[in-house]
Amino acid sequence: MPNAAKPEFPQIRPRRLRRTAALRRLVAETRVHPSDLVLPVFVKEGLREPVAIRSMPGVHQHSVDSVRKLAVEAARAGIGGLMPFGIPAVRDAEGSGATDPDGILNVTMRAIREEVHDDLVVIPDLCLDEFTDHGHCGVLRPDGTVDNDATLVRYAEMGRCLAEAGADLLGASGMMDGQIGYVRAHLDANGHQDTGLLAYAAKYASAFYGPFRDAVESQLQGDRRTYQQDSPNATEALLEIDLDIEQGADIVMVKPALPYLDIVRAAAERSPVPVAAYHISGEYAQLMAAAEKGWIDKDAAILESLTSIKRAGARIIATYAALDAVRLLR
């Protein structure tokens, strides 16, 4: 009889499970599903047709009519939700348009709800920065600093208006101390116990927000470092997350996503509520710009980016690439 073959090194060969695309799909540990994705959308008062945003290829400022069509497309694609941001024609120091029932964000909310009913989760932005003539996320004191507690009153009023317009969740993005507890109490006192709060719990003062500010025609002079999270700090971010959960947040979010995957992972390991991450405008714009130059494969880069965010622990991902991703996932 021939001699039995001797085992040769290596006996354990992980590459066996990478041999074909079908094998790789079978053993994939992390999967992005269309329902994990939320599409941020910009709606500008007075527009008749969508207008391309120069710094965000493929993304537009929408009219109320065109966002209706986009909402239908998103619902048919099976994505999880829409996150509308309003761009008013007139701004003032108090951000009055945010609490005007006929203001652009409230009108947009009602239009989306009328168009898709409950087929999408709608998460309007609960913040004043798009509505103020100074571009800050709150009202200012005479010395130009943001008045935290006076801002909470405005957030509560804005939240009530958006709840009345049909919001499922409010995207509390202002990073004011106590905002979740204050808004939650006001919603409950006004009969909106079922309106949830998605807390931008760890929102960092990031260099990657530039294209977003272009999209909303931000009036900001200076920066928001006195209230947004400082990028060197992780323990402080976890404190912010814990506080928002204690105050009643239904979902907590980390923003941006890719530069802060360590925070996403830490949040996922400690949070009893779902963790979201925002793949923000600057992250998206980098991919699009490099793809336009032929430096990267756009489709592969989108899926790799979103998969890494999901792998870090985010159950929900806000991304401008949501519809592209659904096409690729299918």
**DSSP letters along 173-211, please?**
-S--TTHHHHHHHHHHHTT-TT-EEEEEEEEB--GGGHH
Q: What residue has token string 């991703």? A: 325
Instruction: Tell me which DSSP letter residue 233 carries.
Output: -
Instruction: Tell me which DSSP letter residue 56 carries.
Output: S
Return the active site residues. 203, 255
How far is it, in rounded angstroms, from Cα 290 to Cα 300?
12
**DSSP letters along 260-321, please?**
GHHHHHHHHHH-SS-EEEEE-HHHHHHHHHHHHTTSS-HHHHHHHHHHHHHHHT-SEEEETT
Burial class (CB in 10 A: 0-12, 13-18, 19+), 17: exposed
